[in-house]
Amino acid sequence: MAELSVRYATALFELSRDGGTLGECLKQAVVVRDALSAKECRSIIEHPQISGAEKRVFLDNVFAEGLNGHLNNFLSLLISKNRESIMTSALTTFIDMGNRVSGKTDAEVVSAVALDEGQIAVLKAKLEKKLGKTVDITTQVDPSLIGGLYVYADGHYMDHSIKKQLKDVRSNLKHGEWLDGPQA
Q: What is the pTM of this model?
A: 0.70
For the segment 26-68, what is each residue's pLDDT rounded down to a tens digit?
Answer: 999 999 999 999 999 999 999 999 999 999 999 989 987 789 9
Q: What is the CATH number of domain 104-168?
A: 3.40.30
For the segment 4-21, what is each residue's pLDDT rounded down to a tens digit?
Answer: 999 999 999 999 999 999
Residues 6+ apart with CB under 8 A from 56: 76, 79
2-100 fold: Peroxidase; domain 1 (1.10.520)
CA 97, 99, 105, 106 torsion-angle sign: negative
d(CA 179, CA 184): 12
Domain ranges of the chain: 2-100, 104-168
